Amino acid sequence: MGPFAIIGNPVKSSLSPRLFKAAYPKLSGDIYQVIETPDARLGWQRIQELNIRGFNVTMPFKTDFLKMADKLAPAVGQINATNLLTNKEGIWTAWNTDITGVVNSFREVVTDPAGKNALVIGAGGAGRAAARGLEQAGALVFVANRTPCPGIYPLPDIPSLIRKCNLIVNTIPLEGLETTVEGLSGKHTILDASYTMAPLQKAAFKAGARYLGGYHWLYHQAVEGFAILTGLEPDCRAMRKLLDL
């Protein structure tokens, strides 16, 4: 089995190696590696050199590594982003467990997204996965982004969108959001993608909104992702303990 890895830039501070070790304490300590690279092509070469059998993908390579896949799991093509690739009998398959990460974060802690209005801030790989997952779960989804385009709202429209929505997913840094995240209240539940920066935590607490930090998203996408990687059920209790969930 393995070896496995996570690849990104930067990625050395990622919790994924510790989370994997917690999930599978009986597996070899060095079975899950960290590959930090400035370029996806160089990273792909490193994957081949180390004979990696499956790997998680984080920023900024969630779109780049689609080009390396032979097959795409359902919805990955529409999202145009992957956070996991696996090799089975020489065939590389791209997956996206961010979809599950977002939806299950809301389902476990708050409510099913079905019938709710949801705002997704950011239209990168994580934002597209969040929007897709929430739509599949039955939510009406609005997306706001720094660069608007047909079907995507500009960031200054966020206050009016907040008034329409119960659920909010944020996938971008705080910069540019300070003056636009207005109108939050106790009716809102906010999920941040970043577990290191927690961009909307302060605003959520100030408004009395329900706040879900990025550990929720990290945990739920990892439960599915690690099972896909290894074919084994992870120790969810140990993973939750590590993340204090």
Q: CA-CA distance, 217 to 212, in Å (whole number)?
A: 8
Catalytic annotation on 62? yes
Q: Which residue segments constitute the domains of the chain, with CATH numbers given?
A: 4-96+217-243 (3.40.50.10860), 99-212 (3.40.50.720)
Query: 176 pLDDT band (50/70/90 cuts)?
Result: low
Query: 66 pLDDT band (50/70/90 cuts)?
Result: very high
At residue 109, the pLDDT reads 85
Distances from the Cα of 20 to the Cα of 6, 41, 49, 237, 243, angstroms: 10, 25, 22, 12, 12
**DSSP secondary structure string for all residues of 52-102:** -SEEEE-TT-TTGGGGG-SEE-TTHHHHT--SEEEEETTEEEEE--HHHHH
Percentage of the chain modeled with pLDDT above 90: 87
Q: Per this entry, what is the length of the chain?
A: 245
Percentage of the chain modeled with pLDDT above 70: 99
Query: 4 pLDDT band (50/70/90 cuts)?
Result: very high
This prediction's pTM: 0.94
Q: Which residue type does 127 have?
A: G
Burial class (CB in 10 A: 0-12, 13-18, 19+), 75: middle
Catalytic hit among 12, 62, 206, 241:
62
At residue 196, the pLDDT reads 86
Burial class (CB in 10 A: 0-12, 13-18, 19+), 242: middle
Q: pLDDT tens, 191-216?
A: 999 988 889 999 999 999 999 999 99
Average pLDDT over residues 63-71: 95
Average pLDDT over residues 108-130: 93
